Amino acid sequence: MSDPALDILTDARQWRLSADGWTAVEQALEQFATALGHNDTGARQRALATILLSGPSRVLRAGAADPGLPPPPRIRERINHLVHVLSTDPDADAGRRQSVDGGRDSATGKPGTGPDRDGADPYGH
């Protein structure tokens, strides 16, 4: 079964949007990364919905202007990073949180503290 988030992010690499459209996508990508890092399913779904709503319209009018710009490098890199994180082994959940939120502890938000960094099994095994 395919992960809808992975499908959306993979598709987004091919989108052509206005500069404002890419700004909206970039903000939603940050929200998505934060939600993924904190394992917040509701926030993750809201961020994905925002990404989709910020994406290209499926309907093009005859004589429509330029379809837009490809993703700017920083956004393309952010998308690529998130695709990589989502494509990783699901058993690497603690590593996923660390790689998405910059190594911050998911409980305290502080760098390098808590179970994500002290070698303890994040699943309590």
What is the per-residue pLDDT for 94? Answer: 43
Q: What is the pLDDT of residues 37-81, one digit of tens each?
A: 999 999 999 999 999 999 997 555 565 666 789 999 999 999 999
- Predicted TM-score (pTM) of this structure: 0.67
- What is the average per-residue pLDDT within 94-112? 44
Torsion of CA 14, 16, 19, 22, to 10 degrees: -40
Q: Which residues contact 88 (CB under 8 A, 6 or more apart)?
A: 95, 96
Predicted local distance difference test score (pLDDT) of residue 17: 95
> How far is Cα 77 from Cα 50, in angstroms, rounded to an integer?
19
DSSP state letters, 39-57: T-HHHHHHHHHHHHHHS--
pLDDT tens, residue by residue, 5-42: 999 999 999 999 999 999 999 999 999 999 999 999 99
Q: Output the CA–CA distances (angstroms, integers) from residue 115 to 46, 91, 95, 112, in the order listed.
A: 27, 15, 11, 9
- What pLDDT score does 2 carry? 72
Residue 79 to residue 113: CA distance in whole angstroms: 27
